[in-house]
Structure 1
């Protein structure tokens, strides 16, 4: 007996225990899961077509109940579920953990989401890469210490992923992008600038990273004011890896 037939038999056994409302809901989900989704997967590690198909199902069910894109919390739970279905040992970190969001095998993963209306398909923006908290934040010399805190934070995980959502025409488009950790560590040689003319307190600052041709790879933006957070801005997607993507009709 195939795995599919086993699941059909299991569902059939459970159906009589469901009331009419739940059966209608189950029927709706069955119809939703038959919708056409264009998927891609680069085949690197766990990111196979099977992974992409399973994740497509989670996206379809979510958008049957909500117009809103995946939040970070939903992304985390969906990744754990789909990776476990792919026979990988994946589990969430304790809530409030300042480092990685989940563990996959021996690897520590950090997950981000992006769904702002200004999203550009050729560049990534992480509006809250980490909280900076208190500490020295007065001049360009201070930025060296703030940048080091980013390096210390990145040391807590092995891989970084961003799930990005954008409406393209009549379709929803999601993509799973891996940001190379080594790329962010190039900030060690970045150019620092504190915006001393800003009215924010503390002042915001930048660390700009360029290639040999002076083309900008990305920026670290040390966002001052009350939040004191680090943003990653204008990160070229061409320097990252699109592990999977999903395109389907928007309701």
Structure 2
């Protein structure tokens, strides 16, 4: 029986018990010792947010709720945090001087060994380009700007069938290889290019999605990324 110091209604007491029960849900945690977030304060704060959404609210930690949880955990752990201004295009938060783009995915098609970013960024020009030269020119310009603006992408992945969350960092310098891609690989209206050319499996796959005017990065080799932590429910 949980005793509450303050006076609460019967309904409030039930919700409080449910909330505390959610926070105490069994959760096996594996933090990577080389991760800058591998400390008890970050992990416990992030886990409490994760369990609040997943077990109390009944929905996976995702999108804005993930962004909020990650930023709060960094702040409580003593990292220097500066959130982006409204309208900032490529990144969401500066952590200890590093500009980070926050992404999340709960797609059923998630794979263990590769990562997928459905929308790295919007790119209206994809629908307007009619030649390989123009597509290559715009792509190179976009990624030059992106690589100058963003230091890393941190993605939270939720594997529904495994009841497991995984926090992974994708190094943005990986995308600099796009600068080396020849014009002939941009011939299709919506090209899909394995990078680097000829490597199997590739480091990643670049997709220019003409229907949705967005840039997708698929099949990112997880071995090239940093897994910060795993939360197994």
Which of 176, 197, 205 in structure 1 is aligned with 2:191?
205
Instruction: Tell me if 1:32 matches 2:22.
Output: yes
* 2:33 matched residue in structure 1: 43
For 1:165-180, what aligned pairs fall within 5 Å after superposition?
Answer: 165-168=158-161, 171-180=162-171
CA shift in 2, pair 1:195/1:165, >3 Å: farther
Q: Distance in 1 between matches of 2:23 and 2:56?
A: 13
The 8 Å contact of residues 39 and 53 in structure 1, kept in 2 or not, is answered as no
The 8 Å contact of residues 204 and 218 in structure 2, kept in 1 or not, is answered as yes
CA shift in 2, pair 1:39/1:211, >3 Å: farther
Q: Distance in 2 between matches of 1:152 and 1:112?
A: 19
Which of 130, 138, 144 in structure 2 is aligned with 1:151?
144
Deviation of 1:99 after TM superposition, in Å, equals 2.2
How many residues align? The count is: 227
Indicate the SS of the match to 1:88: coil
Indicate the SS of the match to 1:43: coil
Deviation of 1:45 after TM superposition, in Å, equals 4.7
Residue segments in structure 1 that go unaligned for 5+ positions in a row: 1-11, 197-202
TM-score under structure 1 length normalisation: 0.81
Q: Which runs of 4+ in 1 moved over 6 A?
A: none
Indicate the SS of the match to 1:108: strand
* 1:199 matched residue in structure 2: none
Indicate the SS of the match to 2:125: coil
Which of 134, 144, 154 in structure 2 is aligned with 1:142?
134
CA shift in 2, pair 1:212/1:52, >3 Å: farther
